Amino acid sequence: MSSTAQTTTEIRTFTVSTPEDELADLRRRVAATRWPDRETDASQGVQLDTIQALAHYWARGYDWRKFEERFVALPHFITEIDGVDIHFIHVRSTHADALPLIVTHG
Amino acid sequence: MSTVETATEIHPFNVSIPDERLSDLRRRITAAQWPTKELVEDSSQGVQLATMQELARYWGSDYDWRTTEARLNALPQFMTEIDGLDIHFIHVKSQHENALPLIITHGWPGSVLELLEVVGPLTDPTAHGGGAEDAFDLVLPSLPGYGFSGQPTELGWDPARVAQAWAELMNRLGYTRYVAQGGDQGASVTDAMARQAPDGLLGIHLNWLSAFPQEVGAALFGGLIPAGIFKRVVITVLGAQAKKKEPEALDALAALFRRGYFVEMPEHPQTIGYALTDTPVGLAAWMLDHDADSYEKISRAFVDDQPSGGLTRDRIVGNITLYWLTNTATSSARLYWEGFRTIFAAIASGEKPAELSLPVAFTVFPGEIFEAPRSWAEKVYPNLIYFNEADRGGHFAAWEEPQLFAEEMRAAFRSLRNAGS
């Protein structure tokens, strides 16, 4: 009983390391995109030129490893709360009396 | 002169999809990346994972497009250019003299494939429980942006413009007396045909109410109608009356206007189009999420191998494959954008729809998204010559219950056969 409770309140360090074949699969899927025809009016949603330029950059210009480097440079942790693994970044200030602030994305 | 001749030509058409397109599709189905399972035991979070995985398994390994292609190619298909666009249609003439020409328009997420099983009963009634006097010559066009018809590259192809094209098609085929039928988007087109009342159109049959009485419009769109205080009070009172008289039909109709596809396709067809165009499994899920009744039936066909009438696995996947191979997920969605744009422009301007005096027949199928009350049909169509509530069938009535659907056509149009001759 108490050991379970100890396990679930544990805070473990965490890092990101994406296998190369997952990145290759993503690039392959982006490059193999099948496209619809051009919109007949700009108000019909995301425009073909925009999304094709994005896809082009995503498959050829973008480098996930650069992002991963920046990301793992921060202290990451995982802890289980209410049955779900919660990932968070926790950066302590070097200044005494820093105010703890939790920021939630959308 | 020669241009005109070319443009009204009617060419025979056959479907023949290259093998590599089919293997590309199978590859994409097999490579599908799946979400985790929904957290509920019903369809309240949408199309269920078990249904989609069984559909994908069947689609990727058992289904054969060539059988669907053969069903299409067994019928006389044609292509003709109307209003700048290639229109694909099936045209089956009855062997019986004095057959009544009938043009049936499919809807979304349907195609001419949903109508193939009514061809026999309608054109060859004596082999399907009817008499020679029940015969129809049948014209089944693919909507612009659907199936093998061309995709509009300019604005303005709303149901009214399609209706004008259909009148030209019937004229081009030499029909001087004919009737028209439609459900779903096909009902919007057929309703528009009746309002335009082209020469030769004797009457229509609908299995979807696409036009609403004033009080229903007030309840649905009241907030959009530009109005002063006095008119606003009238709209509110009318809307409340509609709600009191036909609460079930009105609630079901209001729920449709909140449904995902019915919001996204009229608003941003291009945005959803990227997802639907790139992933067959995503396209299939989007097409399955049309209405509760057909989803339940389709889901049963895959998960329990218990099809409802003609809604078999083969036919369901065949229709989805047609959308995939013709790359029409986005262009078909644009018909909603066009149709809503016309409707909201009419609401904003206060313009009333054209008077409709042609005879109208209506069949309510019990599984339909909302069961149109007779009182609504009578108000919208003053010359309502036939109204029947069928005992089975749903949104895809011709597909699910072809024999029953054909019997409705026979009964609905019987009184018009000798009219206006």
**Sign of the alpha-carbon dihedral angle for B13, B17, B18, B21:** positive
Phi, psi of A80 (to 5 degrees): -90, 125
3-state DSSP of B67-80:
HHHHHHHCCCEEEE
Judged against a pLDDT cut of 60, whether residue B161 lies above it is answered with yes
Lowest mean pLDDT among B57-71, B188-202, B239-253, B317-331: B239-253
Beta bridge partners of B87: B80
Q: Which residue of A has its CA nearest to B328?
A: A36
Determine, for residues A40 and B329 on separate chains, whether the beta-carbon distance falls below 8 Å. no
Rounded CA separation B256/A86 (Å): 37
**pLDDT confidence of residue B419:** 65
Rounded CA separation B403/B122 (Å): 9
Stretch 36-65 of chain A: residues touching chain B, C-beta under 8 Å: 36-41, 44-48, 51
Record the pTM: 0.94
Judged against a pLDDT cut of 90, whether residue B386 lies above it is answered with yes
Determine, for residues A36 and B271 on separate chains, whether the beta-carbon distance falls below 8 Å. no
Rounded to a whole number of angstroms, the distance from the CA of B183 to the nearest CA of chain A is: 25
H runs (alpha helix) in B79-158: 119-123
- pLDDT, one tens digit per residue, over B8-62 is 899 999 999 999 999 999 999 999 999 999 999 999 999 999 999 999 999 999 9
- pLDDT, one tens digit per residue, over B38-52 is 999 999 999 999 999
CB neighbourhood size of A4 (10 A): 8
Q: pLDDT-derived band of residue B3, with 50, 70 and 90 as boundaries?
A: very low
Strands (E), B128-218: 136-141, 178-182, 201-206
**pLDDT confidence of residue B115:** 98
Q: pLDDT-derived band of residue B354, with 50, 70 and 90 as boundaries?
A: confident
Q: Which residue of B has its CA nearest to A31?
A: B278
Cα atoms found within 13 Å of the Cα of residue B227, Cβ hemisphere only: 16
Q: What percent of chain A has pLDDT over 90?
A: 92
Determine, for residues B334 and A44 on separate chains, whether the beta-carbon distance falls below 8 Å. yes
**pLDDT confidence of residue A3:** 47
Q: pLDDT-derived band of residue B231, with 50, 70 and 90 as boundaries?
A: confident
Inter-residue contact B411 to B388 (CB < 8 Å): yes
| Region B151-157 average pLDDT | 97
Q: Which of B146, B268, B270 to mutate to test the interface with A (most CBs of A within 10 A)?
A: B270
Residue type, B290: H
Q: Which of A22, A30, A33, A34 to mutate to test the interface with B (most CBs of B within 10 A)?
A: A34
Judged against a pLDDT cut of 60, whether residue B407 lies above it is answered with yes
- What are the contacts of B290-296 at 24+ separation with CB within 8 A? B290/B109, B290/B261, B290/B395, B291/B369, B291/B394, B291/B395, B292/B43, B293/B367, B293/B368, B293/B369, B293/B394, B293/B395, B294/B367, B294/B394, B294/B395, B294/B396, B295/B43, B295/B47, B296/B43
**pLDDT confidence of residue B1:** 42
Closest CA relative to residue B373, chosen from B198, B249, B230, B195: B249
Pick B337's closest partner by Cβ from A33, A37, A44.
A44
Torsion of CA B197, B199, B202, B207, to 10 degrees: -40
**pLDDT confidence of residue B300:** 96
**pLDDT confidence of residue B6:** 52
Number of A to B CB contacts under 8 A, please give it.
Answer: 51
- pLDDT, one tens digit per residue, over B171-180 is 999 999 999 9
Beta bridge partners of B178: B201
Rounded CA separation B84/B197 (Å): 22
- pLDDT, one tens digit per residue, over B240-250 is 888 889 999 99
Q: pLDDT-derived band of residue A94, with 50, 70 and 90 as boundaries?
A: very high
Rounded to a whole number of angstroms, the distance from the CA of A76 to the nearest CA of chain B is: 25
Pick A45's closest partner by Cβ from B269, B329, B331.
B269
DSSP symbols for B341-384 = HHHHHHHHHTPPPPP--S-EEEEE-TTSSS---HHHHHHH-TTE
Rounded to a whole number of angstroms, the distance from the CA of A51 to the nearest CA of chain B is: 9
Torsion of CA B96, B102, B103, B106, to 10 degrees: -100
Q: What percent of chain B has pLDDT over 70?
A: 98
| Region B337-346 average pLDDT | 94
Residues of B in contact with A41 (CB under 8 A): 155, 337
